[in-house]
Structure 1
Amino acid sequence: MAAPGSFPLRVEGSWGSDPPKNLSTKLQMYFQSARRSGGGECEVRQEPGAATRFLAFFHLDAVRQRVLETKNHELLWPGIGTFQLTVELPTAPEEVQDALEGDIPAKESETKAHIQDPGKGKE
């Protein structure tokens, strides 16, 4: 995955006040497709405190620039609908930092649990 925090973009869409479940996964698949969005390697997370906004963290600035330069972004979701997407640079650095900090502790705990006492169980 992309190095979180590398090159973020804010993503908003026409899904209204109650976004569909798994929207972040669908957005990530969309923005990872160079053919569909101009994107590439990235990670998408919900913006803290904003249930309807997401942040896409791109690994390369050139990829982020291609996404910004693409005029029309549409997410086609069979059975749900077609969403018009708006992408822009985040306005406040703390939004990006809050999004990054939201998932990091859980990942660290999970990693520590897997590497803690590697010899345990061999006794």
Structure 2
Amino acid sequence: MLENYLPIIVFIVLGLGFGAGPMLIGYLLSPSKPNKEKSSQFECGFPPFEDSRMYFNVRYYLVAILFILFDLEVAFVFPWAVVQSDLGWFGFIAMSIFLFLLVVGFIYEWKNGALEWE
């Protein structure tokens, strides 16, 4: 029974090795020369003026929900359309429930004003 899991364990060990190995080699072999200039802000050129845990508008989350609703929906609709004739009524009812839930999410987004651009 345990020999069935050996390939999975080998893949996990190899994946961890390929992922963590180069980082570990770079950490161990790289020179460490700390400097004040290296630790300074380099993205925008000036020190931050607010806390990083500031309030974000709920619109960011609504846009994320919109992405999930309308982008990932296609990932389920196309394969269903390919095998629709093989699924019969069960597949039709299951996809109808799925699309109904998507419409409910769309109405939620519409009511919260996520579709209105400023």
Q: As a proportion of its length, which structure holds more helix?
A: 2
Who wins on radius of gyration, i.e. which is larger?
Answer: 2
Structure with higher RCO (Cα < 8 A, 6+ apart): 1
TM-score by structure 2 length?
A: 0.27
Q: As a proportion of its length, which structure holds more strand?
A: 1
TM-score by structure 1 length?
A: 0.26
